[in-house]
Structure 1
Amino acid sequence: MDEFLAISALQHYAYCPRQFALIHVEQVWSENRFTAEGRILHKRVDSAEPEQRGDTRFERSVSVLSNVLGLTGKLDLLEIKSGKTPKYTPVEYKRGKPKTEDWDRIQLCAQALCIEEMRSVQVKEGAIWYWEVRQRVAVEIDLELREATKNIVRNARVLLSQGRTPPPTSHRKRCRACSLADICQPQMFRDDRSSNYITRLFEK
């Protein structure tokens, strides 16, 4: 694999391919309250020391990679339960609350796929800790989630290779929470009909 893709970039793509392209193709970034709170949360998590509780070891800020998928990243927390076959559970920390969409679960699944490749084990479950509601949500790493994650990896790589920035997402509510809204200017892009006009001209 020529270039490794950051696991965190998969969440950007799943949330909005345009956001992904602005960050990973155009190399722009802007912070808002949500990203600042998330950064502070992860800084606290990463600074914690590893510990052992009973038969389970808690490793923090664990680096992982997958040569097969071309992914690299860092786990907030890896729980390793000892036994004849050790059980590995990746745990991702998020500042918000549980979502119906798969954005967070895709990021977690990618972490699980990296662990499986590195340790030659099967990871059946991960977890996401949502700071805002102080809730831990178990996530089954099933076939459907695995395929969705691999599909996101493929699509993200295509966008990177094309080096283009697609139009804004059709899910307008996502734009309001995006730190790149001022740079992206999704509403201005939607109001500009010139590209559609030119397309129709060439279709005649």
Structure 2
Amino acid sequence: MYQEQELLPVSALQHLVFCERQWALIHLEQLWVENILTAQGRVMHERVHEHDREVRDGIIITRGLPLKSLRLGLTGKADVVEFVAVCVKDGREGIPIEGQPGLWKPVPVEYKHGKPKVDRSDEVQLCAQALCIEEMLGVSVTEGAIYYGRPRRRHSVSFDEPLRAATEEAVLRLHYLTREGRTPAAVYRRECNSCSLYEYCLPRATGGGKNVSKYLQQVLDELDIE
């Protein structure tokens, strides 16, 4: 079990799985630069959290639910957790809610401004939320969803064993790299072009083991600056 002071943000897992260098620049070096994509994403999350709780079409919708797992060493907030009514016989997946009859199954929903990624970074982040909810509420969370702003579509996510294993592995990696406190070298990919930290990361210059000092000297030489 982790101590309270050792808890790391659930959201860091998405950065870590997507790009370990991006994670380090944000969470170790405290760099954050907002571009049009991150600004639009921030606005989307602000809208999601405008109301704490509502009931719609028989579903109880809770926004900004605090999350914590001492087993995984994680803390954070869920964008949305939908509570869906379940049969009493499915008690493992349902919990009672004050003022509401029957049992209710939690379904975490994460909102993303962009489109689905090639990797599983978004799914790992969502699965980590599910693992936190399981520990907090003592209930099995079998599925969740990610709503992507482009194209406005909801993507269902099953928390199967491979995804759970990948999430647990990412959590261990997160704590290991945090203890190491070292920023990994850059590896240039096409996705780098839309990253708000591109100018700080210099993936084309430093990727593949390139030396940053040599790159900067090359730029100065081209500008005839000594």
Is this a same-fold pair by TM over 0.5?
Answer: yes
- What letter corresponds to residue 65 of structure 1 in structure 2? K
Distance in 2 between the 1:32 and 1:116 partners? 35
Counterpart in the other structure of 2:13:
10
Cα RMSD after superposing both structures: 1.6
Is residue 69 of structure 2 the alignment partner of residue 52 of structure 1? no
Q: Kindly provide the amino acid, as one letter, of the partner of residue 29 in structure 1.
A: W
By how many angstroms is 1:187 displaced? 1.4
2:136 aligned partner, one-letter code: M
- Check if 1:123 corresponds to 2:141: yes
**Structure 1 residue 66 and structure 2 residue 83: aligned?**
no
Partner amino acid for 1:36?
A
Runs of 4+ in structure 1 off by over 3 angstroms are 191-195
- Residue 198 of structure 1 corresponds to which residue in structure 2? none
**Partner residue of 2:34?**
31
- For structure 2, the 5+ residue unaligned runs are 89-93, 95-103, 213-226
1:152 is aligned to 2:170: yes
8 A Cα contact 1:11 1:103, kept in partner: yes
String of CA shifts for 1:183-204, please: whole Å, max 9, x gaps: 1111121376459xxxxxxxxx
Q: Secondary structure at the match of 2:49?
A: helix
- Select the residue among 204, 209, 226 that pairs with 1:187: 204
Aligned residue-pair number:
194
- Higher-Rg structure is 2
Q: Matches of 2:211 and 2:129 in 1, distance apart? A: 42
**Residues 1:175 and 2:192 are matched in the alignment:** yes
Q: 1:35 to 1:193 in 2, by over 3 A?
A: closer
Q: 1:78 aligns with which of 73, 77, 81?
A: 81
User: How do 1:132-147 and structure 2 match up within 5 A?
Assistant: 132-147=150-165
* 1:60 aligned partner, one-letter code: R
**Any conservation in 1 of the 2:187–2:207 contact (CA below 8 Å)?**
no
Q: Which moved more, 1:121-130 or 1:77-86?
A: 77-86
CA distance in 1, matches of 2:113, 2:61: 20
d(CA) in 1 for partners of 2:59, 2:190: 40
- Counterpart-to-counterpart distance in 1, 2:209 and 2:136: 48
CA 54–29 in structure 1, closer or farther in 2 if over 3 Å, else same: closer
Alignment of 1:90-129 (within 5 A): 90-129=108-147
Q: Give the 3-state SS of the residue equivalent to 1:159 in structure 2.
A: helix
- TM-score by length of structure 2 reads 0.81
